[in-house]
Amino acid sequence: MVAPTGAIAVANMPQSARDEANGHATYRFDPTPATASYLVAFAVGPFDVHEGPTSPVPVRVITTRGRGAMGATAATIAGEHLAILGGYFDRPYPYPKLDLVAVPDFLPGAMENPGLITFRDVLLLLDPSRSTNRARTNIAGIIAHELAHQWFGNLVTMAWWDDLWLNEGFATWMSTRVIDAWQPALGARVDAVSGHAGARRVDALATAHAIRQPVRTTSEAMESFDSTTYAKGAAVIGMLEQWLGADAFRDGIRQYLRAHEWGNATAADLLSALSAAAHREVAPVAESFLDQAGVPLIDVALDCEGARPALTLRQRRFRLTGESSGEQSWRVPVCARYPDGDRTRTQCTVMERPEARVELETSRCPAWVHPNANVGGYYYYRLPRALLRQLWTVPDALDPAARLDLLSNLEDLVAAGDLPADDWLDALERLAQDPSPHVQERVVGSLYAVERTLVDHAHRPGFERWALRILRPMAQRVGWRTHPGDYDTRRDLRRSVLTAMGTLTDDLNTRREAERVATEWLRTLSGGDPEITSVAVPLASRRARAARFEAIVAAIPRAPTPQDRALLISALTTFDDLALVRRAYALALGDSLRQADMRSLFGRFGATPEARDLVSRWVMDHWDALHQRLGRNVRGLVWSVANLCDAEKIREAREFFTPRIATLEGADRSLATAVEAASRCAASRARALAHPPSRFTLPAGVASRAR
C-alpha cells in the first residue's frame, strides 16, 4: 500500500518493509495464510498506536489521533483472552499479531478480520476512571466474541452461509466461557440465561426460522445475522455440551479444528467430530434443533402412584400467540432435578418421541421437580400449578441461573395465555428478595414487561404503587453511592434499580437526586461517579424543559469518551415532552451525528406508551430522508414496529413499511418478526385487561401517583 508519509497503514499481517519517497510511504506486508476473501482488511490514517502485551503475540490498539490511551484496557483484556482461548482449543492463536482498530463511524459493531479486528469506537475504547462496569464488561464480551472467531470462522471457515451459526453461534457461546474464566465473579454463565431466553422468545413466533436454512441470495445471507443464528445457535451448542459432557465436547472441538484448519468445514464435520469424541451419535439430536424452526414446550406431570415416582413428559411446539402448532417434535435432552431425602438428584433422558415416561431414581415422592436442571436445555417447561409454585417458594430448590430461567419461562407462558398472570406476579414479589443480584436485576427487567403487557392507563397508578413496593427496598439497599468494596454485579443492580425507580414509579426522591447529579455533571462533563451519572442523566431529562435539551445537544461534541457521547445522545430521547423527543430524532437527518450514533439515538424507546408509540410514527413520517441519509442501514429502523402494542397502529406500520423495504436486503424478515412481536404484545394486553390483576386496582381514597 502507498500512503502519505503522515499516515500509518496496517493490514491483516505484520508489516515487512516500509520505504519513503516523494512524500509517500510504501508499505509491504507478510503474505496471509489461506483466508476467506470477506476477511481481508486494511486501515490507513493519522493514527495513534497503543502498544499492548507482547505475549502470546504482539497486541496493539489503533485509534484516531489523541485517543490511544483509551485503548489500554482493551489491549490488556485481549492478551488475557488470547491465553484462555489458546488453552481451551489446545491450539495457539493462529496469526502472528493482533491489531484492534477503533473506527469512529462503524455501524455494525465489530468484524473479526484475522489479525486486524475492527470495532465501533464505543465498543473498544474507554477511560477506566470514567467508565461504568457495564461498559467494561461489554467491551470484554465483544473482544472475547471476536477473538473466538479467529479459530471458529477464520482458522476454519464455514463452507457456505447456511452454516453461519458455526461462526456466530459458537463465538457467542465461547465468549461466555472466556468471560467466566477471565473474571468468574461477573457470573457470565448466569447472564447468558437471558440471551437464551431472548432467543426462545423470537423462536416462539410464527415467523421463526431454522438455524440452518438455504442461502441463495445476498438478502438471505444478510437475514441470517440475527438472534436465531447468534443466541439460539449458542443455546443449542450449550445444550450439546451439557448432554455430551464438557470434556468430551471440548475434545470434539479440538479434533474438528485440527482436521480442518486453514480450510472450510460444514456442520456435518463438526457433529462428526463431536460424535467421535463422545462415543455417541450427535447428529440426530443436533439436527432436530438446527434444521427446524421453533422451540419445544415440555409439559411435565409427576405420578407418585406406582412403585417409583415417575415423570410424564409431553412436547409440542410453543407459540407466544397461543394457537395450535400442529405436529412437530424434537429429540430433546431433558435433565430433571429433584430432592431425595437430604440430597438432590439430577436425572437425564433424551426424548425421542412426543411423549416419554421416566421413572425417578428414588422411592420418595419429591416435593418439587425442576425440569431443566443446570438450565442446559433449549425448551420451555410447564408444571402443574402446585409444583410450579414450589420452584419459587422452596428455598434452594433452584440456583440463580435456574431462577432467571424460571422468570423468563413464566413471562412467556403468561404472554401465550398458558398461565395466569398472578403466578408471574407472585414469583416476582418473592424473587425480588432473592440474595442473588442477577436474580434481582432480572426481576427489575420483568417489571417493564409487566407494565407493557398488563397495564393500561386506568391501572397505571396501581401498577406504580405495586412496583414501588418491590423496588423501594432494593433501592434502599443499593443506594445512590458506590463504595470501593462494591462488586461488579452490585454496581449493575444499582443502575437497573435506580433507573426503574425513576422510570416505572416516578418516585419523587429519585427524580430529585437524578436532577442534582445530572446538573452538576452537565456543567463540566467531568467528575462524579460514572455509574451514577449513567443513571441520572437520562432520568433527569424526563420532566426537564427545552433548556436541558439544548444543554445536552451542546455537550455532545465535547464528550470526553465514546461512552459519554452515547449517554448524552440517548438522554435526548427520555424527555416526557414529545416535542423535544421529535427534535432529538430530527438530529438523525443532519450532520451533527454519525451513523454509528443512531444506535444511541434509537436505542431507547421512552418511559411511557406515548413515547414508545412515537418512534415508528416518526420513522414513517421521515422515511425518505432517513433512507437518503443512512442508505441500506435504514433497515434497522424497521425494528421500531416491535415497540408498538396496539393492533391498529401495527397494521398501519406494516402497510407502510412493506412496499418500502422491498429493495432493502435483509429487511423482510426483520419487519415480519417486528410485526409479530408487536402483535403478541397487543394480544397479551387484550387478554390481561379483560381480567386485570387485582394488585393494580387502587383502594378507594388512595392517591393516584406513586411517591
What 8-state DSSP symbol labels residue 631?
Answer: G
Clarify whether 146 is annotated catalytic.
yes
Per-position DSSP letters for 595-611, written without gaps between them: GGGHHHHTT---SSHHH
**CA 490 vs CA 185, 193, 438, 477, 567: distances in Å:** 11, 18, 9, 10, 21
Please, are residues 556 and 523 in contact by the beta-carbon 8 Å criterion?
A: no
d(CA 111, CA 145): 10
What 8-state DSSP symbol labels residue 152?
Answer: B
d(CA 697, CA 695): 6
Catalytic residue among 80, 112, 146, 451: 146
Select from 139, 163, 123, 124 the least CA-distant residue to 36.
163
Per-residue cell: 600: 444511541
d(CA 431, CA 526): 37
Please, are residues 62 and 99 in contact by the beta-carbon 8 Å criterion?
A: yes
Per-residue cell: 540: 433527569
Question: For residue 609, which amino acid is it?
Answer: P
Q: What is the dihedral of CA 571, 573, 574, 575, to 10 degrees?
A: 110
Please, are residues 581 and 573 in contact by the beta-carbon 8 Å criterion?
A: yes
Burial label for 636, CB within 10 Å (0-12, 13-18, 19+), is: middle
d(CA 190, CA 566): 27
β pairing state of 98-103 and 59-64: parallel
Q: What is the dihedral of CA 606, 607, 613, 618, to 10 degrees?
A: -20
3-state secondary structure of 701: coil
d(CA 94, CA 646): 52
Please, are residues 364 and 340 in contact by the beta-carbon 8 Å criterion?
A: yes
Select from 90, 3, 11 the least CA-distant residue to 43.
11
How remote is the C-alpha of 450 from its chain's centroid?
20
Per-residue cell: 67: 485517543
Angle (CA) 72-73-74 rounded to 5° is 95
List the catalytic residues: 146
